[in-house]
Amino acid sequence: MYLIAGLGNPTKQYEGTRHNAGFSVIDVLAGKLGISVNENKHKGLIGRGMAGSEKVILLKPQTFMNLSGESVRAVSDFYKIEPENIIIIYDDIDLAPGHLRVRAKGSAGGHNGIKSIIAHLGTQEFPRVRVGVGAKPDRMDLADYVLGRFPQVEKQVMEDAFEAAAQAAVTIVEEGTDTAMNRFNGRK
């Protein structure tokens, strides 16, 4: 069984923001897999289904970004999912808009949602799919930037990236992280 968690902030106020890229990918993935992510459990919205021959749980933590680890840990404990089968999808300001980076493990790189997950799981050895949202402009507050929405010129690029990130997550489940890294890293 795999847990695929997309990070973001709950409530309509944050829909479509850069920081909610993970939620956007989960929405695409849910559509592709025919899974409804609407059950309120484990401090998140979850949905269960299949990706190929593997059972998957899709998760949108409802704890707000900085506490994402609470929900991820609750789901992983309840379903007894090991960290190597927990795939985290999230925004990355160090990648150009629409670019992807798949990794098998790694540090938080300054991302508070990932810091929380590492703290709650007690390891940084879990696969992740980072979705580039671009660097913040000089003199702009980071929180204002990541909580802002994509400009019209980037919307199609980001929709394509959400589709690709969803496929990267399925590739991790079906073919392994190395295959996903080879297929999707640097992809735009």
Active site residues: 19
Instruction: Tell me how crowded residue 112 is: count the other CB atoms within 10 A of its CB.
Output: 16
Listed residue (151, 147, 162) closest to 17, CA to CA: 147
Listed residue (106, 120, 124) closest to 44, CA to CA: 120
How many Cα neighbours within 13 Å face the side chain of 51? 25
Read off φ and ψ for residue 128, nearest 5 degrees: -145, 155
Which residues lie across from 129 on neighbouring strands? 89, 102
